[in-house]
Every structure is written in C-alpha cells, then in structure tokens.
Amino acid sequence: MIRTALPADIPDIARLIRALAEYEKLTDALALDESRLHEHLFGKEPRAEVLIAEVEGRVAGFALFFHNYSTFKARPGLYLEDLFVEPAMRGRGLGKALFQALAKLAHDRGCCRMEWAVLRWNEPALDFYRRFDAEPLEEWITYRLTGPALERAGQR
C-alpha cells in the first residue's frame, strides 16, 4: 500500500534514510535530526513531502520529494530527492508503486516534469528508471554548495 506519510512515521522515515545512506556508502555525510525532519515535513512551512510504502502495517519504503519550478514552462516540477525500499522487501513492486504514485501525483498537480539524481555506480537504480523511459540529462552538470562554501557564497 502506498500512502502519504504521517507525523507518526518520522522514526520509520529516519530508519529508512539511515539505511539509504548505508546503501549509498554515504553514512559519513549523514547528519539526520528527527526533530528537524519532522519540522520540515509537517511543520508550519513544510519543505518536502513523503510517500510511504507499507506492507502488512510495516513501513518498507519511502519517496521524499518537493516542488521546484520551470521558468520556461511557467509550471511547477517535482523533484524526487530519495526513493528507497528496504533490501529485504525488494522485488515486490514497492519501488515501482512508489514511483508510479509519485508520477501520478506530479501529473495531477500540473507539474511539467519530474526529476531526480542517481549515483553513477548505482546500476540497479539506473536500470529501474530506464524501465520507465527516463532519460539522463547528459548536457546538464549538477553543482552543489555546502558548509563553509555555502556560507562564503552568501557573503560575497
């Protein structure tokens, strides 16, 4: 079953985020704070949303997303930050169900596109998205500012 996350799901979402960081070999970058996550998902000004994949009452996967905007189309877009299903629960169609629910949500909300990033080495994820006819944007380079560089950029 796919459903919208509730505040009571925060511990499970955090558990899945930790598992995702481990899978992506990025645990050293993890600075997860459940109270901040709660505020950003369910607070006064939510910054993101989550769909939950549930099997027999147990949270087994999630998709965290937020809206962006296309100036060229003058329409919103949807950015998929994370899609993850517990390894033991893979092969049951949960990832597909999450992705399809998200695509439907984007369409229903009038979004002109849905975008995400995939680590180059993650062949299972690349294969998964190819099955939906998703295409990599080879001509675009993703840039990122974090930490001290972000702070310095704001002072120039």
Residues sharing a CB contact under 8 Å with residue 42, sequence separation 6 or more, in sequence order: 7
| pTM of the predicted structure, to 2 decimals | 0.93
pLDDT given at position 144: 85
Distance CA 142, CA 47 (A): 21
Q: What is the pLDDT of residues 37-75, one digit of tens each?
A: 999 999 999 999 999 999 999 999 999 999 999 999 999
Q: What is the pLDDT of residues 132-148, one digit of tens each?
A: 999 999 899 888 888 89
Q: What is the mean pLDDT of residues 105-122?
A: 95
Domain boundaries defined on the chain = 2-153
Residue 156 has pLDDT above 70, yes or no: no
- Average pLDDT of every residue of the chain: 95
* C-alpha atoms less than 13 angstroms from C-alpha of 119 in its C-beta half-sphere: 12
pLDDT given at position 57: 94
Q: What is the mean pLDDT of residues 16-28?
A: 96
Q: pLDDT band at 14, cuts 50/70/90?
A: very high
User: Which class would CATH give 2-153?
Assistant: alpha beta
Q: What is the mean pLDDT of residues 92-103?
A: 97
Which amino acids are annotated catalytic? Answer: 129
Q: What is the mean pLDDT of residues 98-111?
A: 97
pLDDT given at position 132: 94
